[in-house]
């Protein structure tokens, strides 16, 4: 059995007993990447020399029983800055950008003795839902190479699903961890806003972005969240809340748990197989002893409109720093200063990024600010209050992670609106700042994975993991593998 077929705790036990070394696992990881990368296209940059050096040092130091992630490889989404390693956000604008510091999550990864193996492909500046807007390559879904892996963390999801790495980091602004996890049949968690430091994450929409883990199993996911969580003085939005051990409640017992299912999440527009898989999952939860009842989130229907005004406005502000002057791409085709700004931004940004910058600049402009941005902020508050009301009586909210399974490459690229609507079930969670997870709950007729979404109260990832793990123990969907 390949090393990469085991879960993190199995590998940890083998490392502690010295049956294998960190060098063995890291070498197996790069062998697997070489074997599959041409088909899948998950990585933008590999860092093999540094990874092997880290592995040797960790083996020499020895691995203690309490450090479950030590000596194990991890993939990093390419919008998380890495000291000395190219960080591009999948954009021509940052094609040759090499940061001189590490993001806080990278510092935590090194503290835990994990081994970053490279930077993963994504939608440019995290804008997109299919990993097709990357300047460098299109990542493919390991379950069917004609299909998208979802986005924007498509590289992070595809790398885990194809067995290139056992864990990766993504970022989630409106569903960018949960939707690709759903499309590729793995576990992806968006933590509560403020749980994980955003320092060193290249910003798309600062009030929505969160870094989170993608793994094959729920327990593995909880281990990674343990390692990357915590207060960070360098991030003004970081929450000073204590970090529990997220694996503590993974007992399989969820008797008495109250779960609400929003009627809006099972309305028209869902692929029939997705609806059927979610209804079956509800029955599984009832058999496990949970109470499942219908609830309502009446304002979630406005989520997509609110999100695209707020996210685009914040993006237009955040991306103004990429101007061809300080760092990043600078056009050669210039005769004066105005040309430097206009041509550098015109040539450096892709189509989807330009679309969102223009949308955001319009929404923030004089005369439109009150009508659009302010109104969106008010409706965002109503969406948040909907969640708060449900969580007065329920522990979790359950629904599909995406309305459909993975669609074909190129299928929705010319129609951005249908692609935007694909995030209709994940977006409200970001607007409210709640944590949410996607776990595999079935397959459609084509054999493509279906994701189940569980949403929790602020800073209550532990209950999400408890319910997700119980479902995982009761089913076998997480054991299925794509046939590459």
Axis-axis angle for helices 272-287, 461-474 (nearest 10): 100
pLDDT at 461: 98
- Eight-class DSSP state of 332: S
Q: Where residue 422 falls among pLDDT bands split at 50, 70, 90?
A: confident
* Per-residue pLDDT at 418 exceeds 90: no
Over residues 272-309, the pLDDT tens digits come to 999 999 999 999 999 999 999 999 999 999 999 999 99
What is the b/e burial string over 347-361, where b = at least 16 CB atoms within 10 angstroms of the residue's CB?
A: ebbbebbeebbebbb
Q: Mean pLDDT throughout 167-187?
A: 98
* Per-residue pLDDT at 58 exceeds 90: yes
Q: Mean pLDDT throughout 323-331?
A: 91
Pairing of strands 291-295, 396-400: unpaired
* Per-residue pLDDT at 1 exceeds 70: no
CA proximity to 438, closest of 412, 473, 476, 465: 465
Omega prior to 152 cis, within 30 of 0: yes
Over residues 107-163, the pLDDT tens digits come to 999 999 999 999 999 999 999 999 999 999 999 999 999 999 999 999 999 999 999
Distance separating alpha carbons of residues 401 and 436, to the nearest angstrom: 9
pLDDT at 253: 97
pTM of the model: 0.97
Q: Where residue 269 falls among pLDDT bands split at 50, 70, 90?
A: confident
Q: Cβ of 233: how many Cβ atoms within 10 Å? A: 10
Mean pLDDT of the chain: 97
- DSSP collapsed to 3 states, 148-167: CCCCCCHHHHHHHHCCCCCE
* Per-residue pLDDT at 434 exceeds 90: yes
Q: Mean pLDDT throughout 168-187?
A: 98
Which of 156, 162, 168, 176 is catalytic? The answer is: 176
pLDDT at 417: 78
Q: Mean pLDDT throughout 64-92?
A: 98
Q: Where residue 268 falls among pLDDT bands split at 50, 70, 90?
A: confident
> Contact 405/271 with Cβ under 8 angstroms?
yes
- Can you list the domains of the chain with their CATH numbers? 3-256 (3.90.1300.10)
Q: Which residues contact 369 (CB under 8 A, 6 or more apart)?
A: 363
Distance separating alpha carbons of residues 160 and 111, to the nearest angstrom: 22
CA proximity to 127, closest of 441, 372, 353, 381: 353
Catalytic annotation on 77? Answer: yes
Distance separating alpha carbons of residues 426 and 179, to the nearest angstrom: 8
Catalytic annotation on 176? Answer: yes
Which of 22, 42, 77, 197 is catalytic? The answer is: 77
Over residues 361-382, the pLDDT tens digits come to 999 999 999 999 999 999 999 9
DSSP result, 289-317: T-EEEEE--GGGGGHHHHHHHHHHHHHHH
Q: Which residues contact 476 (CB under 8 A, 6 or more apart)?
A: none
Over residues 18-50, the pLDDT tens digits come to 999 999 999 999 999 999 999 999 999 999 999
Q: Mean pLDDT throughout 391-411?
A: 97
pLDDT at 190: 98
Which of 152, 162, 229, 313 is catalytic? The answer is: 152
Q: Mean pLDDT throughout 374-402?
A: 98
Phi-psi region of 141 (alpha: psi -120 to 50; beta: other; left: phi over 0): beta
pLDDT at 347: 97
> Contact 468/454 with Cβ under 8 angstroms?
yes
3-state secondary structure of 352: helix
Q: What are residue 188's DSSP bridge partners?
A: 214, 438
Percent of the chain with pLDDT over 70: 100
Q: Where residue 3 falls among pLDDT bands split at 50, 70, 90?
A: confident
Secondary structure E strands in 99-223 = 115-120, 167-172, 187-190, 210-215
pLDDT at 419: 82
> Contact 470/254 with Cβ under 8 angstroms?
yes
pLDDT at 238: 98
DSSP result, 236-247: TT--------TT
- Looking at the chain, the number of H-run helices and the number of E-run strands are 15, 11
> Contact 22/115 with Cβ under 8 angstroms?
yes
Q: How many CA atoms lie within 13 A of 336 on its CB side?
A: 1
Phi, psi of 446 (to 5 degrees): -85, 0
Distance separating alpha carbons of residues 478 and 178, to the nearest angstrom: 15
Distance separating alpha carbons of residues 423 and 175, to the nearest angstrom: 6
């Amino acid at each position: 059995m390949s090393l990469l077929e085991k879960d993190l705790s199995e590998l940890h036990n083998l490392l502690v007993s010295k049956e294998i070394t960190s060098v063995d696992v890291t070498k197996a990881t790069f062998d697997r990447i070489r074997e599959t990368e041409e088909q899948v296209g998950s990585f933008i940059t590999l860092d093999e020399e540094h990874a092997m050096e880290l592995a040797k040092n960790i083996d020499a130091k020895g691995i203690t029983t309490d450090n479950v992630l030590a000596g194990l490889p991890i993939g990093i989404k390419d919008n998380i800055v890495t000291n000395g390693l190219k960080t591009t956000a999948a954009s021509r604008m940052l094609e040759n950008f090499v940061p001189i510091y590490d993001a806080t999550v990278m510092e935590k990864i090194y503290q835990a003795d994990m081994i970053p193996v490279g930077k993963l492909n994504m939608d440019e500046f995290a804008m997109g839902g299919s990993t097709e807007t990357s300047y460098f390559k299109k990542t493919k879904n390991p379950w069917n190479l004609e299909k998208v892996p979802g986005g924007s963390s498509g590289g992070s999801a595809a790398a885990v699903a194809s067995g290139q790495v056992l864990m990766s980091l993504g970022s989630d602004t409106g569903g960018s961890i949960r939707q690709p996890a759903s499309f590729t049949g793995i576990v992806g968690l968006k933590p509560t806003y403020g749980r994980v430091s955003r320092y060193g994450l290249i910003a798309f929409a600062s009030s929505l972005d969160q870094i989170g883990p993608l793994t094959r199993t729920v327990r593995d996911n909880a281990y990674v969240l343990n390692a990357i969580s915590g207060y960070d003085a360098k991030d003004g939005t970081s929450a000073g809340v204590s970090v529990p051990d997220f694996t503590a409640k993974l007992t399989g017992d969820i008797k008495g748990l109250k779960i609400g299912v929003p009627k809006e999440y099972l309305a028209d527009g869902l692929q029939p197989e997705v609806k059927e898989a979610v209804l079956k999952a509800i029955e599984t939860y009832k058999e496990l002893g949970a109470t499942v009842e219908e609830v309502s989130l009446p304002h979630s229907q406005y989520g997509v409109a609110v999100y695209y005004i707020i996210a685009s406005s914040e993006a237009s502000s955040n991306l103004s720093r990429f101007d061809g002057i300080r760092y990043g791409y600078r056009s050669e085709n210039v005769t004066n200063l105005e040309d430097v700004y206009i041509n550098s931004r015109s040539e450096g940004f892709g189509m989807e990024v330009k679309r969102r910058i223009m949308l955001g600049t319009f929404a923030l402009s004089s005369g439109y600010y009150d009508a659009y941005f302010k109104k969106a902020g008010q409706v965002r508050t109503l969406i948040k209050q909907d969640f708060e009301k449900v969580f007065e009586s329920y522990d979790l909210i359950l629904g599909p992670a995406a309305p459909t399974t993975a669609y074909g490459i190129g299928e929705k690229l010319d129609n951005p609106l249908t692609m935007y609507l694909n995030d209709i079930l994940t977006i409200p969670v970001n607007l409210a700042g709640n944590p949410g997870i996607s776990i595999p709950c079935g397959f459609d007729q084509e054999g493509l994975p279906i994701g189940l979404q569980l949403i929790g109260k602020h800073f209550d990832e532990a209950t999400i993991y408890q319910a997700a793990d119980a479902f995982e123990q009761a089913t076998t969907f997480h054991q299925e593998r794509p046939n590459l």
